[in-house]
């Protein structure tokens, strides 16, 4: 049923770009550590090339993805068809965290619209691209994007966000290093 691809071709790109949500999975090296799966949306995902993708990482209460990537780089991104024909696409690769103080951030930032609460860009070099049937994924209707994160970030302001990230995003739940600034 599943197919492995050498690159993100036009058909896969069209499917991926049509999805309003994607999921990010990472894990620490320590077997006792916590595996993390995070839902993402708000038009934050971009295909940069046939084997490179990125997403804009927004401020949140946890920092697991960033911490895991800094430790080992392993990441998988999953896109599910909640409308239309069933399909799941998984993009596996080596992820890099690019923080706003790093030179590459300004270049990558050009791919994204300005969003409240930006904290990093996750860039991924793909080493496996595959799909599967998705027959058990339910049909769901996307009503609208939530506006709470943007409003929350706007209300905090730049200094408030810096303080929040300093308190909540320096270490993962397994005490791995998170954001550096």
Divide the 181 residues of the chain into consecutive groups of 10 and give the mean pLDDT of each group.
Answer: 93 98 98 97 98 98 97 98 97 98 97 96 98 96 96 97 96 96 84
What are the tokens at 146? 């939530």
Q: Which residue has the tokens 């949140």?
A: 60
Residue 174 belongs to a domain: no
Tokens of 67: 């911490």
With respect to residue 176, please indicate whether it lies within any of the assigned structural domains.
no
Name residues whose C-beta falls within 8 Å of residue 143's C-beta, 6 or more positions apart in sequence: none
Close Cβ partners of 50 (under 8 Å, ≥ 6 residues apart) = 7, 8, 9
Token code pair at residue 179: 């954001």
Gap between the Cα atoms of 29 and 38, Å rounded: 18
Residue range(s) defining the domain that contains residue 124: 3-136+144-168
Q: Does residue 60 sit within a domain?
A: yes
At residue 1, the pLDDT reads 61
What was the pLDDT predicted at 67? 98
pLDDT reported for residue 181: 84
Dig out the tokens for 14 from the structure. 């069209």
Whether residue 98 is contained in a domain is answered as yes
DSSP letters for 54-109? EEEEEP-S--HHHHHHHHH-EEEEEEE-SSSS--EEEEEEEEEEE-TTSHHHHHHH
- Distance between CA atoms of residues 130 and 8, nearest Å: 9
What is the total count of domains within the chain? 1
Inside any domain, residue 8: yes
Let me know: does 169 contact 119? Beta carbons within 8 Å.
yes
Domain at 130, CATH number: 2.30.110.10
* CA atoms in the 13 A half-sphere facing the CB of 65: 28
The reply to whether 173 falls in a domain is no
- Residue 27 resides in a domain: yes
Q: How far is CA 107 from CA 53, 70, 98, 112, 153, in A?
A: 14, 20, 10, 10, 23
Instruction: Tell whether pTM > 0.95.
Output: yes
């Amino acid at each position: 049923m599943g197919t492995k691809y050498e690159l993100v071709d036009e058909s896969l790109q069209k499917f991926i770009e049509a999805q309003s949500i994607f999921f990010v999975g990472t894990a620490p090296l320590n077997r006792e550590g916590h595996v993390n799966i995070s839902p993402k949306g708000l038009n934050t995902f971009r295909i940069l090339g046939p084997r490179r993708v990125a997403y804009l990482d927004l401020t949140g209460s946890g920092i697991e993805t960033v911490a895991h990537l800094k430790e080992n780089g392993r990441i998988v991104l999953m896109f599910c068809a909640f409308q239309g024909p069933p399909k799941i696409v998984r993009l596996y690769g080596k992820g890099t965290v690019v923080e706003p103080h790093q030179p590459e951030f300004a270049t990558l930032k050009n791919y994204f619209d300005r969003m409240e609460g930006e904290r990093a860009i996750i860039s991924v070099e793909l080493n496996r691209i595959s799909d599967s049937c998705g027959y058990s994924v339910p049909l769901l209707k996307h009503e609208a994007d939530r506006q709470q994160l943007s409003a929350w970030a706007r209300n905090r302001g730049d200094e408030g966000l810096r303080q929040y990230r300093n308190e909540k995003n320096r270490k993962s739940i397994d005490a791995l290093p998170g954001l550096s600034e």
